[in-house]
């Protein structure tokens, strides 16, 4: 278990990792929309970039912070008693700040204003159910692969790639990403008034997965609940 001195590194890793994740989502969405008018092709490009950056980010940041990169994941670990709530709050704040920075940087790279309200309507029961399922499945993927950490990064990337296409919501599965995407008018954006329901659905999916994982898997627990288990690399 890392010492308390690792805390600033871990928080910085969560902010930086989430920033790159959002840059991957938003930037690839902008690029795809500029290169093609075919919505299916644009979504495919957005999917490939998101899945690829997720795999890289989990491998890079797992040894530093566990590579949560997602408030739903952090909340699940806190509910399991595997990290303290103060530590979890710091992670979530870093993830949200990193996500906002990721949107701004993606916009600036493409000569757009740093922030602008999302324009894409994403609402209704089907969309909310999609976010619940996307987040539920992501957490199950994480918990199910904890005993095989070498497979985790690829499993997460592949799951999100699939969920982009089988969920009506295109699988945000991440409250920090939902907030960040509410501030981009690009292909990957969401109207701010729709983001709140997405976040509620994501948190509900995370809670359901936390309960379900206790039943399905024999999950390791840390003796010290004051910090996350870095050896069980997790995402976002």
pLDDT digits (tens, 9 = 90+) for 183-221: 999 999 999 999 999 999 999 999 999 999 999 997 655
In a domain, 121, yes or no: yes
Residue 230 scores a pLDDT above 50:
no
On the CB side of 47, how many CA atoms lie within 13 Å of its CA?
19
C-alpha 180/C-alpha 138 separation (Å) is 19
Mean local confidence (pLDDT), 31-37: 96
Query: Which pLDDT score is estimated for 61?
Result: 97
Q: Is residue 28 part of a domain?
A: yes
CATH classification of the domain holding 206: 1.20.1080.10
Query: Is residue 223 one of the residues assigned to a domain?
Result: no
pLDDT in tens, 42-52: 999 999 999 99
SS (H, E, C) 53-100: HHHHHHHHHHHHHCCCCCHHHHHHHHHCCCCCHHHHHHHHHHHHHHHH
- Cα–chain-centroid distance for residue 86? 20
Residue 182 domain-assigned (yes or no) = yes
pLDDT exceeding 90 applies to what percent of the chain?
86
236: pLDDT strictly greater than 70: no
- Alpha carbon of 215 to those of 140, 147, 206, 211: distances in Å? 11, 16, 15, 7
State the Cα angle at 178 between 199 and 194, rounded to 5°. 65
Domain membership of residue 86 (yes or no) is yes
In a domain, 207, yes or no: yes
Q: Please say if the pLDDT value at position 222 is more than 60.
A: no
Tokens 């499945």 locate to 137
d(CA 55, CA 43): 18
- Within-domain flag for 222: no
Q: What is the pTM of this model?
A: 0.90
Q: Which residue has the tokens 């296409």?
A: 165
Asked if residue 232 has pLDDT above 80, the reply is: no
Average pLDDT, the chain: 91
- Of 21-30, 113-122, 194-203, 215-224, which range is least confident? 215-224
Within a domain: residue 226? no
Q: Distance between CA atoms of 236 and 228, rounded to whole angstroms? A: 14
DSSP 8-class letter at 5? G
Q: Give the pLDDT confidence of 64-114 residue by residue, as tens digits.
A: 999 999 999 999 999 999 999 999 999 999 999 999 999 999 999 999 999
Structural domain span for residue 163: 4-216
The predicted structure's pLDDT at residue 219: 60
Q: For residue 224, what pLDDT is reported?
A: 41
Separation between Cα atoms, residue 23 and residue 29, nearest integer Å? 9
Total domains present in the chain: 1
């Amino acid at each position: 278990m890392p010492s308390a001195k690792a805390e600033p590194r871990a928080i910085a890793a969560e902010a930086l990792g989430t920033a790159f994740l959002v840059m991957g989502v938003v930037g690839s969405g902008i690029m795809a929309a500029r290169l093609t008018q075919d919505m299916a092709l644009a979504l495919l490009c957005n999917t490939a970039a998101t899945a690829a950056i997720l795999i890289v980010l989990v491998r890079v940041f797992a040894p530093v912070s566990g590579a949560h990169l997602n408030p739903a994941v952090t909340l699940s670990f806190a509910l399991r008693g595997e990290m303290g709530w103060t530590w979890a709050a710091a992670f979530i704040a870093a993830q949200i700040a990193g996500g906002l920075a990721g949107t701004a940087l993606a916009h600036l790279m493409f000569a757009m204003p740093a922030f602008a309200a999302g324009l894409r309507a994403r609402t209704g029961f089907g969309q909310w159910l999609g976010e619940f399922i996307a987040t539920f499945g992501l957490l199950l993927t994480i918990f199910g692969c904890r005993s095989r950490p070498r497979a985790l990064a690829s499993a997460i990337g592949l799951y999100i790639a699939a969920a982009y296409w089988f969920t009506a919501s295109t699988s945000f599965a991440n409250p920090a990403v939902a907030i960040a995407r509410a501030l981009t008018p690009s292909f990957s954006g969401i109207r701010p008034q729709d983001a709140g329901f997405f976040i509620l659905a994501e948190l509900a999916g995370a809670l359901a997965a936390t309960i379900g994982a206790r039943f399905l898997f024999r999950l390791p627990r840390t003796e010290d609940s004051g910090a996350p288990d870095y050896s069980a690399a997790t995402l976002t």
